[in-house]
Amino acid sequence: MHILRPQFRIEEQRALEFARRRGFGVIVTADATGPRASHVPFVLSERDGHAIVQIHFTARNPLVELADGVRRFLLIVAGDDAYISNDWYASPDNVSTWLYEAVHLSGVAHLRGHEENRGHGDALLAVAESRLPKEPWTLAQMEPGKRESMLAAIRVAEIVVDQIEGQAKLNQHKSDADHVAVANQLARSEETGHRPLARKMQALRPGLGYDIS
């Protein structure tokens, strides 16, 4: 579901749309012994004016008992990143750095009943399969006994998001010359994620002398 509701500020809408497109992140909370984390796919929706993140864990995951309706969880959704060398800039004496995009969504987590497992699985697959150039695979195509056994082995949790934080470092504070020089270097790179970052930098400041086709 696209989340573009008027109750969300423009920056929040962009952060939510970024998270929705990624669909995978790191969920973090803490118990008495310290931080706990899991890497999870998620579904992002909207209900009663709130963004809702729905995730699932294996039943034995220690995060299950921590989704108690009181404890806060943090979902970290990372995008592409790139190391930027000092000599990539047009001007001298810049500091080498990393460019990146990320979104943090946080709120109280609530455990859902087993009866919601199938709906969660269907929603998660619908989002993920829509990204592939083929007919979507669905849980209905799975042998019923195996499907029910698999669904019984997970627990679904929802985070009612009350804090949305988008983070992006794309050389926004640099001169046009430095911005273009770094974008051109990224566009020529074979590293995963570098070219998408170059295109985003170009979109931030269109009309400059990029080598990006």
Q: If you average pLDDT over residues 184-202, what whole number do you get?
A: 94
Residue 2 has pLDDT above 50, yes or no: no
| CA dist list (Å): 188 to 87, 176, 191, 213 | 15, 18, 9, 11
**Per-residue pLDDT at 160:** 96
Number of residues that this document lists for the chain: 213
Type of residue at 53: V
Using 50, 70 and 90 to split pLDDT, how confident is the model at 93?
confident
Radius of gyration of the chain (CA): 20
Using 50, 70 and 90 to split pLDDT, how confident is the model at 119?
very high
Type of residue at 199: R
**Per-residue pLDDT at 7:** 58
User: What is the DSSP code (8-state) at residue 31?
Assistant: E
Mean residue pLDDT of the chain comes to 93
E strand or H helix at 183, and its extent? Answer: helix 176-188
Q: If you average pLDDT over residues 194-204, what whole number do you get?
A: 94
Q: If you average pLDDT over residues 10-27, what whole number do you get?
A: 94
- Report the distance separating Cα 141 and Cα 59, nearest Å: 24
**Per-residue pLDDT at 22:** 95
Angle at 67 between CA 62 and CA 68, to 5 degrees: 120
At residue 211, what are phi and psi to the nearest 5 degrees? Answer: -95, 10
- Report the distance separating Cα 123 and Cα 138, nearest Å: 10
Instruction: Describe the crossing of helices 144-152 and 117-129 by its angle, rounded to 10 degrees.
Output: 110
pLDDT tens, 34-78?
A: 999 999 999 999 998 899 999 999 999 999 999 999 999 999 999
